[in-house]
Structure 1
Amino acid sequence: MNSAASAGLYHAPRTDVSQNQGKFRIHLNFPGRNHPDHEDHGYGPLATVVESFMDPDTLISMHPHQNEEIISWVPAGVMRHDDRQGNELVTDSEHLMVMNAGSGFWHEERTLADDPPLRMLQIFVRPHSLDLQPGIQHGAIDDPVANEWRHLFGPEGSDAPFYVRNDVNFYDARLEEGASVALPEIDGWDAYFYVSEGAVEANGVAFDRTESGLVVGDEDPTITAREESVLVAFLVDPDAPVTRQGTIGR
């Protein structure tokens, strides 16, 4: 059950919303559901954070997306992408992919028989407007620095290397056991974090692997790794204008 760990900090266990298609499996995390009084499953422009698994030799055949921004974060392994624009892209721990689906974008995903099993996050952001120009961003990211946040995407015009078309910033961090970091912050924005690996503590509350926290208002938790950990964090403007017609991230 989701709970208020302290005023403004809301804890959620591993999601029980999942789909099993055999060689392709997903667990859907809904940031808005961390808060017991929040009516929307998303939280402002952050719609859904999906933990996705693909076995070796798996194909997700060509399919469309519309009116959502889809970010593929791959901490290990490889995700292979083809699309109708002729792109053949490999996303791994050294690369990030942002699909700005806009008015429509067709793509497929696959792993090869000799690829390792894939576990990644696919992040769905609600754009500020419908039927924007579709496109894709893909490229190398800076090497991580232990115990520091790495800024990976932000709104258009931010200093992040990739952009989405709404007010969401995304960071990851690799923490050594016992290390502490403060969450990134922007005045008036809230934060959502997800423990991809390991276990952490925030303001005295334990968060284990695949659990998440929503930080609302003036709460300013410090996150301490109880063991070697990998986590991601989002800063979200809860009052940003959003659309709700995405193929998946509604």
Structure 2
Amino acid sequence: MLVVNPAAQRPGNNGGAFRIARTYPGINLQITGDHGLGPLGCFDDASMQPGFVVGMHEHRDDEILTYMRRGQMVHTDSHGSSATVTPTHLMMMNAGRTFFHEETNPRTSTEPVELLQIFIRPSAPNLPPAVQFHTFPEAVPTDGWRLVGGPAEAAAPLTIRSQVWVHDLRLTDAETALPDLQGLTGYLHVFRGTVTIPGHHLTLKTGDGLVIENEAIQVAAQGPADLVFFRLDRQAAYTRTGKYSG
């Protein structure tokens, strides 16, 4: 099964200093009452201009991966953490029973922030709140898929308290296989660029997504393309009590 989610389908705002386009990965699967994809609730493709502040606000029962691709963002939270998030210094907020945070693109910044804010449904409600940071050697790999985050047993750089694995790759004028699904569901998101799916007459452009089940496919880049790939277990336990992920 291959199901395309076109970028034009995403709700969001159309301008201003803070722009968001929200992806509901299961929206075209016609699942009554749920536009998520199992434990993957939704994610925002967001940009923030210098000087913009996302004020202190609460999350509950959300696992939130901040996947930065451009700029720097200053993070503060109710867990006592203060850090600068960059394309090589990523953040995972495990909100649990309650977690407040604020994000700022400083006025002194010379460029906008561009990121994915990924909302994952945890395996259970009311888990202890936590926040994690990890410094990667490069902003995005070019020599193969990189594991960014996953469940504890995956020993990923960032721990997700759910059966979701997040990979990324910059594909440059080449063709590659996706990470082995091993019976799981896949979701391919094109962060930037254009790719084709050989043998399926599919072209995906910036912001497009593809749900994959029971298929082993290749992805071919039409010039440099930044890709984010989710593997997830739709049958695993997860809660829908999240303030944003639910």
TM-score (norm 1): 0.92
Residue 5 of structure 1 is matched in structure 2 by: none
Residue 211 of structure 2 corresponds to which residue in structure 1?
214
Superimposed CA distance per residue, residues 23-77 of structure 1 (whole angstroms, 9 cap, x where no aligned partner): 2121110111143x33320000000021111111001111111001000000121
Distance of 2:10 and 2:62 partners within structure 1: 23
The question of whether the paired residues in 1 share the 8 Å contact of 2:39 and 2:121 is answered with yes
- Segment of structure 1 superposing worse, 80-89 or 132-141: 80-89
2:55 to 57, 61, 71: 61
Measure the CA separation in 2 of the matches of 1:142 and 1:193. Answer: 23
Q: Which amino acid aligns with 2:31?
A: H
**Residues 94, 129 of structure 2: 8 Å contact kept:** yes
**Structure 2: runs of 5+ lacking an equivalent:** none
Q: Give 5+ residue unaligned stretches, structure 1.
A: 1-7
For 2:144, give the aligned amino acid: E
Q: 1:20 to 1:84 in 2, by over 3 A?
A: farther
Q: Partners in 1 of 2:242 and 2:226 — Cα distance?
A: 29
- The answer to whether the aligner puts 1:9 opposite 2:6 as a matched pair is no
TM superposition shift of 1:20: 5.6
- Equivalent pair of 1:53/1:119 in contact (CA under 8 Å): yes
Q: How far apart are 1:223 and its partner, in Å?
A: 0.4
Residue 26 of structure 2 aligns to a residue in which SS? helix
Cα distance, 1:142 vs. partner? 3.5
Residue identity opposite 2:145 in structure 1: W
Shift of 1:19: 3.4
Aligned equivalents of 2:222, 2:155: Cα separation in 1: 31
1:184 match: 179
Q: Give the total of aligned pairs.
A: 240
Per the alignment, in what secondary structure is the counterpart of residue 27 of structure 2? helix
Q: What is the CA RMSD across the aligned residues, in angstroms?
A: 1.4
- Alignment partner for residue 149 of structure 1, among 127, 145, 159? 145
How many Å apart are 1:119 and its aligned residue? 1.4
Aligned residue runs from structure 1 range 1-250, under 5 A: 8-14=1-7, 15-19=9-13, 22-35=16-29, 37-39=30-32, 40-115=34-109, 116-143=111-138, 144-177=140-173, 179-203=174-198, 204-216=201-213, 218-250=214-246
Confirm or deny: 8 A CA contact 2:79 2:131 kept in the other structure. no
Whole-Å Cα distance in 2 between the matches of residues 88 and 47 of structure 1?
26
